Amino acid sequence: DAGVTQSPTHLIKTRGQHVTLRCSPISGHKSVSWYQQVLGQGPQFIFQYYEKEERGRGNFPDRFSARQFPNYSSELNVNALLLGDSALYLCASSPTRGGRYYGYTFGSGTRLTVV
């Protein structure tokens, strides 16, 4: 059974550019969320989607946006890249039962470097 898959694995972009990161959840998981992890810190919540609707947004600027597709895959877009956006971007999917989220599984992440 495939886990959470993310693409690309590594990316180098220039300041001011735009980037799109992609994620496919575990089969059967309808919830997808995105996190940013900078070195030495725990992951920080960016977005959560469930059944193609945004269910939560973290404290990130409007340059960050996301969406979820009918097949539950998701993409994260970041516009006008800054050096500070350099980080590991993680996607996680979770089964849900009775409105509760269980056992988030993370993908291997996309390492974004902004130069």
Partner 1 sequence: QKEVEQNSGPLSVPEGAIASLNCTYSDRVSQSFFWYRQYSGKSPELIMSIYSNGDKEDGRFTAQLNKASQYVSLLIRDSQPSDSATYLCAVTGGSQGNLIFGKGTKLSVKP
Site residues, partner 1 (CB under 8 A): 31, 33, 35, 40-45, 48, 50, 55-56, 58, 88, 90, 92, 94, 96, 100-109
Query: What is d(CA 8, CA 41) in angstroms, rounded to the nearest whole number?
Result: 22
Tell me whether residue 84 or residue 103 sits nearer to partner 1 (CB atom): 103
The structure tokens listed for 70 are: 């009918």
CB 104 within 8 A of CB 93: yes
Q: If you count DSSP H runs as helices and E runs as strands, how many of each does the chain have, helices first?
A: 0, 13
Tell me whether residue 16 or residue 51 sits nearer to partner 1 (CB atom): 51
At its nearest, how many Å lie between partner 1 and the CB of residue 21?
13
At its nearest, how many Å lie between partner 1 and the CB of residue 100?
7
At its nearest, how many Å lie between partner 1 and the CB of residue 83?
21
Query: What is d(CA 34, CA 32) in angstroms, rounded to the nearest whole number?
Result: 7
Residue 62, number of CB atoms within 10 A of its CB: 7
At its nearest, how many Å lie between partner 1 and the CB of residue 41?
6
Tell me whether residue 16 or residue 61 sits nearer to partner 1 (CB atom): 61
